[in-house]
Amino acid sequence: GAHFDYGNPKDWPKDYPSCGGMRQSPINIQLQDVGMIEPGQQPVYRNRYGAKPKRMTITNNGHTVQLTGEWQKGYTPTISGGPLNGTYQFSELHFHWGSNNFVGSEHLINNHSFPIEMHIVHWKETYGNKTEATKHPNGLAVLGYLMSIHKSPNRGLKMMQMGFQHIVEPSRSTKIDPFPLSFFDPNVSRQKTARYFTYPGSLTTPPCSESVTWLLSVRLGNIATHQLDSLRRLRLSNHDNHNNRPTQQLNGRSVSSYLEIQFSNA
């Protein structure tokens, strides 16, 4: 396929028609328009987020830094419940950031930007593989975390940073010390449950496939400023200094909220 960059995201539909579709992401979430959870509705469950993988790899794909892992058979993290039908397996996680700390998140809340947003991408296992899942309107589920600047660094990102020196240039990848996905949880909160916003949307990068159920955590993740700086030192395609797509039209979609249950162990 053709290449893309963040210089002219309005041109993406020329090469990738889905990017001009009616259920595109990200969006600006207006709190006064969010529907309430109905009583008795199922929460979103994260399963095996505490399981440590056998191997972990980070990749600079020219658009973001991506984390993948290999777990023992039956130990791959999954999510289920809430608005999801069936079980969705972890595929990869990555980040979107800006050229300065006032911008960077893809989703906005009441027009407010956050400096960074993390996406944990999952695919519906009944479709057999992620390529097939991406072709279906309910094939993918992305857990999004808006993050704010904090004195304490993000534990997961800290583990990833150990390998950043090897992936400064696009299309480099390197193995890192394996750790469980729960390392990305906010390291300040004792809460066991948190609210999520959910709406039907798309991949926020080309091919912009309209296959994503978005689950956006209300609880903010934390990141230290030096960690944001280390992400900005990674070189992206066409010397992009940011990798967040502008918000897209809602086109009549509604956003609602759900409960999450969080498990501290595997």
- Give the residues lining the site for ligand BO1 (CB under 6 A): 91-92, 119, 121, 123, 130-131, 134, 140, 142, 203-205
Closer CB to ligand BO1, residue 40 or residue 93? 93
State the nearest-atom distance from the C-beta of 189 to ligand BO1, in Å: 23
Measure the CA–CA gap between 149 and 56, rounded to whole angstroms. Answer: 26
Closer CB to ligand BO1, residue 42 or residue 79? 79
Measure the CA–CA gap between 47 and 82, rounded to whole angstroms. Answer: 13
Measure the CA–CA gap between 167 and 162, rounded to whole angstroms. Answer: 10
Q: Which stretch binds Zn ion (CB under 5 A): 5-13, 116-124, 180-188, 233-241?
A: 116-124
Out of ligand BO1, Zn ion, none, what residue 161 binds, judged by CB under 5 to 8 A for its kind, is none
Q: Is 119 a binder of Zn ion (CB under 5 A)? A: yes
State the nearest-atom distance from the C-beta of 203 to ligand BO1, in Å: 4
Out of Zn ion, ligand BO1, none, what residue 236 binds, judged by CB under 5 to 8 A for its kind, is none
State the nearest-atom distance from the C-beta of 109 to ligand BO1, in Å: 17
Mark whether 63 is an active-site residue.
yes
Out of ligand BO1, Zn ion, none, what residue 131 binds, judged by CB under 5 to 8 A for its kind, is ligand BO1
Measure the CA–CA gap between 92 and 130, rounded to whole angstroms. Answer: 11
Out of Zn ion, ligand BO1, none, what residue 134 binds, judged by CB under 5 to 8 A for its kind, is ligand BO1
Closer CB to ligand BO1, residue 48 or residue 119? 119
Q: Which stretch binds Zn ion (CB under 5 A): 1-9, 117-125, 220-228, 242-250?
A: 117-125
Residue 223 in tokens: 């990141």
| Active-site residue (options: 3, 63, 96, 112) | 63
β-bridge partners, 112: 109
State the nearest-atom distance from the C-beta of 40 to Zn ion, in Å: 32
Residue 10 in tokens: 């309005």
**Which residues have a catalytic role annotated?**
63
Q: Which residues bind Zn ion (CB under 5 A)?
A: 119
